[in-house]
């Protein structure tokens, strides 16, 4: 199965490149499953129902979230009627929506998509390791799902790498999101799980993690906020990871970083081109 996971889409710039490029990637790379992180899609803060549907129309099969899940208040309501919008599974009991979703890929495979939030330098949520272990026990790879993909949303690369090793052999793919800087450590772990510490951002890289530079710089220099953060609106780069899994085992057999755009060096999966 061919999977593309797109990193945190930031603002209109990020949404535009997804709408422009994703339909062609689905066609040219013969993708079976497309996932993306959309928690920064609405001006850099949260997601709206219209934007969520825009991603589905472009070819996304599910959208994951993170610590900005509820920045747009409407998300608290529409997530209940959006089964393919997945928020962190370790949010407190009673949070709307779901932290895991079974998604049907284009080839008919059943894929379990799990979103969890890390805890180092993040909000002190429930233990993501214990909760994900519970999910993988309840729905094991191959017996419960043809593939399992985990978006682990967090700051610390150590915590994200630890999660990769924790589920190695039990999940098809573990991706880190949140830091908006693509890492070069995409690999297949010893047990067969594909892994990358951070997918990077899909947005304008002439920025500070997707925001117009002036206000972040001012806050670092003066320690005084003067304006709201605003998503940068220049030409975007689409970042993510491409994975091919073994239909027999559900584990990863090929993995490559993806960078398509104007500022970062382009990278495409040679095994599909």
C-alpha 119: how far from chain center: 17
Tens of pLDDT, residues 147-194: 999 999 999 999 999 999 999 999 999 999 999 999 999 999 999 999
**Torsion angle (degrees, nearest 10) of CA 91, 95, 97, 101:** 30
- DSSP β-bridge partners for residue 173: 149, 194
Neighbour count for residue 31 (Cβ, 10 Å): 21
Other Cβ atoms closer than 10 A to 109: 18
* Known active-site residue 68: yes
pLDDT the model gives residue 227: 87
Q: Which of 68, 153, 180, 186 is catalytic?
A: 68
Q: Which pair of structure tokens corresponds to residue 192?
A: 């067969």
Residue 70 CB partners (closer than 8 Å, separation 6+): 46, 76
Q: Domain count for the chain, please give it.
A: 1
Residue pLDDT, tens place only, 215-250: 999 999 999 888 889 999 999 999 999 999 999 999
pTM flag (> 0.85): yes
CATH number at residue 231: 3.60.21.10
Q: For residue 89, what are the domain limits?
A: 2-272
């Amino acid at each position: 199965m061919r999977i593309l996971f797109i990193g945190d889409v930031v603002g209109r710039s990020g949404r535009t490149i997804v709408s422009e490029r994703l339909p062609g990637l689905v066609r040219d790379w013969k993708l079976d499953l497309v996932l993306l992180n959309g928690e920064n899609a609405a001006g850099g803060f949260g997601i709206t129902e219209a934007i969520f549907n825009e991603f589905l129309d472009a070819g996304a099969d599910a959208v994951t979230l993170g610590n900005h899940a509820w920045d747009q208040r409407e998300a608290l309501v529409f997530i209940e009627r959006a089964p393919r919008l997945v928020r962190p599974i370790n949010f407190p009991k009673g949070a709307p929506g779901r932290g895991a979703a079974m998604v049907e890929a284009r080839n008919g495979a059943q894929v379990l998509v799990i979103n969890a939030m890390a805890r180092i330098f993040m909000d002190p949520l429930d233990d993501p390791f214990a909760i994900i272990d519970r999910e993988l026990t309840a729905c094991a790879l191959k017996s419960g799902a043809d593939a399992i993909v985990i978006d682990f949303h967090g700051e610390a690369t150590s915590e994200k790498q630890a999660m990769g090793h924790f589920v190695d052999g039990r999940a098809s793919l573990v991706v880190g999101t949140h830091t908006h800087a693509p890492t070069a450590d995409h690999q297949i772990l010893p047990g067969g799980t594909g892994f990358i510490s951070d997918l990077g951002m899909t947005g304008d890289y002439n920025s500070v993690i997707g925001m117009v530079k002036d206000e972040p710089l001012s806050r670092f220099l003066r320690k005084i906020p003067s304006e709201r953060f605003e998503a940068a609106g220049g030409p975007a780069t689409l970042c993510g990871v491409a994975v091919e899994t073994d239909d027999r085992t559900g584990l990863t057999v090929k993995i490559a970083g993806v960078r398509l755009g104007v500022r970062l060096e382009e990278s495409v999966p040679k095994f599909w081109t």
